[in-house]
Amino acid sequence: MRSDSIHRFNPSFPLDFVPLEGTPRDCEDCGKAERVGFQFDYAFQPIVDIAARTVFAHEALVRGPQGQGAASVLAQVNDQNRYRFDQACRVKAIKSASELGIAEPISVNFLPNAIYKPELCIRTTVEAARAHGFPVQRIIFEVTEGERIEDGPWFADILREYKRCGFMTAIDDFGAGYAGLKLLSDFQPDLIKLDMDLIRGVHVDKPRQAIVRSMVALCAEMGIQLIAEGIETVAERDFLSDAGIRLMQGYLFARPAFRAIAPVDPGVYQTSVS
């Protein structure tokens, strides 16, 4: 796809996009992104905005073809199919969201270690978004949980390129490995997700409360939106809301829905500080 064609679909896409030389052979197969050798599908879990009492976005969570857990799919990913799987995930998530009629942004996990040259790999995503009428401005690229980053500055460059092309970016499991303060000094994503291990029981844990409040202040100063994930109790929700976090995700609001949009009970928005 030519850069001017992409720009017409996404005005924020840079017109100075130039393909790089020395592209690995796998990059030539972007159009065959769904040929990974095994089947998988998606479940969607909402991220809610407590203050606005609406759904902010939906995280696309990989599942087996009959709804099996993500582990059953990820166990089949190896060095030979990693790139095509990453590309297939983007295509399928966008297609599924479009078919379900999702109007909010979708958060798609990606494998940074599967990316050769982000400028080229982005093309598959843009083409899928155009084909299914899903604006790229509603696509959030979220670093896959547990992904080990060997080259931090290179990883920051990937995220910077995605943001330059109009996509939103998110860092999951903030504080694990390179996804910590060093990354934040190199690149400021649109969103940071606080891991459920930090959130669990936060309403009765003083050290965790101090960390959460510090993160709220830090993100506010840097213009980053903060998401608390893994919320299961009303007490956790109320503390986080009182601390200034408005974006939340977890079983309290909705479990992931396989091939469907998970409904959110309006009652879960009612906090003690509303």
Is the per-residue pLDDT at 133 higher than 80?
A: yes
What is the model's pTM? 0.84
In 3D space, the residue among 232, 228, 223 whose CA is nearest the CA of residue 252 turns out to be 232
- Residue 185 has, within 13 A of its CA and on its CB side, a CA count of 6
Is the per-residue pLDDT at 73 higher than 90?
A: yes
Residue that is written with structure tokens 């100075």 in the block = 16
In 3D space, the residue among 141, 118, 117 whose CA is nearest the CA of residue 129 turns out to be 141
DSSP 209: H
Interval 186-214: pLDDT, tens:
888 999 998 888 899 999 999 999 999 99
* Structural domains of the chain, with CATH: 3-262 (3.20.20.450)
Interval 142-170: pLDDT, tens:
875 445 566 667 778 888 888 888 899 99
DSSP codes joined into one string, 141-205 = EEEPTT---S-HHHHHHHHHHHHHTT-EEEESSTTBTTBTHHHHHH---SEEEE-HHHHTTGGG-
Calculate mean pLDDT across residues 121-147.
84
